[in-house]
């Protein structure tokens, strides 16, 4: 009888889903599908990716979604024309496949994957794999490492925070975000400046859960139409009645 009860408990007990991180390491998946706070994302199709001109990037070639490229080029052109930035803003890390993300995440070897996930998303849970996200850098760094407070205080990063949304970019992981992911002032995702911009609908579908549950800041704001009530037209009034005067004879 006891064996039957134990078997029944095992059958009815909720199973904990797990995702394979690195060799011999896995992570529990929360009820909303997150691993270490990160939402799941798939790979972008290679046919939808293009390479950013090398002038605007540092390190490896920056590969992004073709739909995102025009806005990214406009952003860089605007930053180039601002005296406080003058070409200091660069793309550092762009699209990364899930396989590449696994190599980056598992580079830590035997360290705790939960600790690594504070600064690097697990494979299959990075916005970078979508091709819609990138990390910006300030070059020359002038002694400022690519770290939160230092990078965020640079004129280029302040310009980015003020202007990026008008080019369709929003900061995925602001400080104190409800997703409990580390503040990353360099990490921005593209969703299009307007919902009807070419490719924006697809990007917004990819990030729909993130934008709904864990809003970006600064974020691309939805278009708000203001309806201005027109004053009522004046009601026409009838002219006063005239009485004919009798003519004296």
107-132 as b/e: b if 16+ CB within 10 A: eeeeeebeebbeebbbbbbbbbbbbb
Instruction: Assess contact for 79 and 159: CB atoms under 8 A.
Output: yes
Rounded-to-integer distance, Cα 145 and Cα 142, Å: 8
Residue 38 CB contacts under 8 Å (≥ 6 apart), including other chains: 117, 121, 122, 125, 126, 179, 181
Q: What is the sign, positive or negative, of the torsion defined by CA atoms of 232, 233, 234, 239?
A: negative
Tokens of 18: 């797990």
DSSP 111-137: S-HHHHTTTSPPTT--GGGGTSEEEEE
Q: What is the pLDDT of residue 63?
A: 98
Residue 92: partners with Cβ closer than 8 Å, 6 or more residues away: 57, 58, 59, 134, 135, 136, 137, 146, 186
Neighbours of 146 (CB within 10 A): 16
Average pLDDT, 10 consecutive residues per value, the chain (249 residues): 40 54 84 92 97 95 98 97 93 96 83 86 96 96 84 94 98 92 95 97 97 96 56 61 55
Q: Note the CATH architecture for domain 15-210.
A: 2-Layer Sandwich (3.30)
At residue 184, the pLDDT reads 95
208 sits in which H/E element? helix 208-213
- 215 class by beta-carbon count within 10 Å (0-12 exposed, 13-18 middle, 19+ buried): middle
- Domain extents in the chain: 15-210
> How many Å apart are CA 81 and CA 88, to the nearest integer?
11
The number of residues in the chain equals: 249
CA dihedral 164→166→172→176, nearest 10 degrees, is 80
- Cis peptide preceding 218, ω within 30 of 0: yes
Contact assessment for residue 63 and residue 71, using Cβ atoms and an 8 Å cutoff: no
Residue in the structure block whose two tokens are 């939808």: 48
């Amino acid at each position: 009888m006891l064996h039957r009860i134990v078997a029944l408990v095992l059958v009815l007990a909720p199973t904990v889903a797990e995702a394979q991180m690195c060799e011999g390491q896995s992570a529990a998946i929360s009820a909303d599908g997150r691993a270490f706070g990160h939402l799941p994302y798939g790979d972008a199709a290679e046919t939808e990716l293009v390479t950013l001109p090398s002038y605007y990037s540092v390190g490896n070639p920056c590969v992004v979604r073709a739909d995102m490229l025009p806005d990214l080029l406009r952003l860089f052109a605007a930053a180039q024309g601002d005296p406080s930035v003058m070409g200091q803003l660069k793309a550092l890390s762009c699209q990364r496949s899930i396989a590449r993300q696994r190599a980056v995440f598992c580079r830590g070897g035997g360290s705790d994957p939960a600790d690594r996930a504070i600064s690097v998303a697990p494979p299959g849970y990075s916005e970078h794999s979508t091709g819609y996200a990138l990390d910006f850098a300030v070059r020359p760094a002038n002694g400022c490492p690519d770290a939160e407070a230092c990078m965020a205080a640079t004129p280029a990063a302040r310009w980015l925070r003020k202007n990026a949304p008008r080019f369709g970019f929003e900061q995925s992981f602001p400080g104190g975000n409800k997703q409990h992911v580390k503040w990353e002032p360099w990490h921005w995702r593209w969703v299009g400046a307007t919902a009807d911009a070419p490719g924006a609908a697809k990007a917004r579908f990819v990030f729909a859960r993130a934008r709904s549950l864990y809003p970006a800041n600064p974020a691309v704001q939805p278009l708000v139409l203001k309806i201005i009530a027109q004053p009522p037209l004046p009601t026409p009034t009838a002219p006063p009645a005239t009485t004919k005067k009798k003519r004296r004879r």
